[in-house]
Structure 1
């Protein structure tokens, strides 16, 4: 089989990955099946003492995987992007390493289609720096997936609620908003269980903020 490590020549690295015919795929859910689990985990991590990072329960990851597979997601949108081109892979090999997982690091931008990545920073252009190539490739794929991601009414509703605005009111109906608010109202019971009636107001507010951010993030990323 082909090796995935950098070869003696730049063209080997590009050819190895070009032969894979990489096709990024963006999968968008109307409702995040792990929204309550993520809220609970992020809240616990936020409240963990500074010198003691949050530790997951033994079966927490497995439970998240099962929940993500089996639970209701509402509408699902799948966007299959164009395969990565040899030109894009060549640009990944020639461009210095980036500092952002989304391809927007200082002095750098990763573009789609037949456009090339450009950088005003300094670096080892045309070298066999595999780490830089891998970082640039990941950023390119992330950027294409982000461009193909579909925002649902739930994303626009969460963004408007989070920011106290009605900017996106044309993107959802009253029924959409009522359904989302019903899910939000169930958050205390779903996250805190039998302790939900003993919650401090600030804890509930923090949990709601995290929940809304989970849904608002796709809209924020799409317009960044």
Structure 2
């Protein structure tokens, strides 16, 4: 395929580039350690032979990523499934989802797209802040990831955003791939999943025609991701207190790596993905004469509602909402044993946080907020908002 050279610095590898990349990866000592951990009884030569047998990125995903994810689901969850009844598996879409886990949100989507009958997976937007090691960058580009360039000056950022937008349009309409992108930069640490209009503005920089035309060309599908338990919940709570107490505190590459490994290795309970209808038809009903900022806000709000209304809630979500508000409003959704087990889970997660001047009360609220917000937003999206108190009095917010 003839791919414009302007995309070379951000795009996934093409099939003809894979053999050289495989050799580069297999010669990397850190990657060899990863392979030894994942495949302790398999020789490097046998792995190399299997890798070189993968002639396309999709073949690599099916040979290496799919079995790994299936094993992960069996060992560290109570099942992972997706409802895709609102979309056509023969079409291509841009999946815009809430963001819980750095690695697994998009990885599970790849597996689930195969499970429901798609003949391809998706290209994944990943921030360059997570790609510090050259071998990691190679690996994710084999796995159909394209790079979101961050920490640039304003002029460079504008140029990079336009290039990424044009690449997403190219991936959907020329390469005929699906695309996944989170609804915001970074994970929502309190699980209050809100689409950043800036993401939509970026997406509308590519393509042709009006803003609505350009977004329709991407065939956006709001995607809801629901984990019963988030292994990184205590890390997110810790980050809240550090941001609150330590002037100019910033996450490091080591913090990101800790989150990635914790998310992969931790127990997740039930996992559910649900696709809302593609918003193409809805976009045709939007008033295009309104100011641009209001237009993007309107579209973002619609995506939020679609994501929120398609959450799958678990007993812990209702328990957290009751615990946070000191009520018993939602006891029809859980048992006393559920409540006891979740309380024990909270205590165990709190015990994992080791920082100076540890504020247990504040951290507990931070933890509870991550499980309460999906329930609050779900009920609001479904018109049940009058049943809960305002969480603004309880939940912490992070800039």
TM-score normalised according to structure 1 size:
0.69
**Distance 1:204-1:93 versus aligned 2 partners, 3 A rule:** same
Q: Which residue of 2 aligns with 1:170?
A: 332
- Alignment of 1:24 with 2:186, yes or no, is no
1:190 aligns with 2:352: yes
Contact 2:309 2:379 in 1 (8 A): no
Q: Which of 32, 38, 44 is 2:236 aligned to?
A: 38
Counterpart of 2:114? none
1:68 paired residue among 244, 263, 271:
263
Task: Give me the whole-angstrom Cα distance separating, in 2, the residues matched to 1:150 and 1:217.
Answer: 13
Stretches of structure 2 lacking an aligned partner (at least 5 in a row): 1-169, 174-202, 381-399
Query: Aligned residue pairs: how many?
Result: 180
1:91 and 1:153 map into 2 onto residues whose CA distance is 37
Are 1:5 and 2:205 an aligned pair?
A: yes
Query: Paired residue for 1:77, among 253, 262, 272?
Result: 272
Describe the shift of the 1:219–1:28 C-alpha distance in structure 2 as closer, same or farther (beyond 3 A): same
- Structure 1's 15 and 162: CA in aligned 2 closer, same or farther, altered over 3 A? same
Structure 2 Cα separation of the partners of residues 7 and 212 of structure 1: 42
* Among 128, 142, 152, the residue aligned to 2:304: 142
Pairwise CA distance, 1:157: 0.7
Q: Which residue of 2 aligns with 1:222?
A: 378
2:280 corresponds to 1:88: no
Which residues in structure 2 correspond to 1:94-113 (within 5 Å)?
94-96=289-291
Question: In 2, distance between residues paired with 1:189 and 1:92?
Answer: 51
Which residue number in structure 2 is paired with residue 154 of structure 1?
316
Cα pair distance change 1:24/1:69, threshold 3 Å: farther
Structure 1 residues 7, 217: CA separation in 2 closer, same or farther (over 3 Å shift)? closer
Q: Alpha-carbon deviation of 1:172?
A: 0.6
Higher relative CO (CA 8 A, sep ≥ 6), structure 1 or 2? Answer: 1
- 1:31–1:74 CA contact under 8 A, matched in 2: yes
What do you get for the CA RMSD once the two structures are aligned? 2.7
**Does structure 2 conserve the Cα–Cα contact (< 8 Å) formed by 1:14 and 1:86?**
no
1:39–1:210 CA contact under 8 A, matched in 2: yes
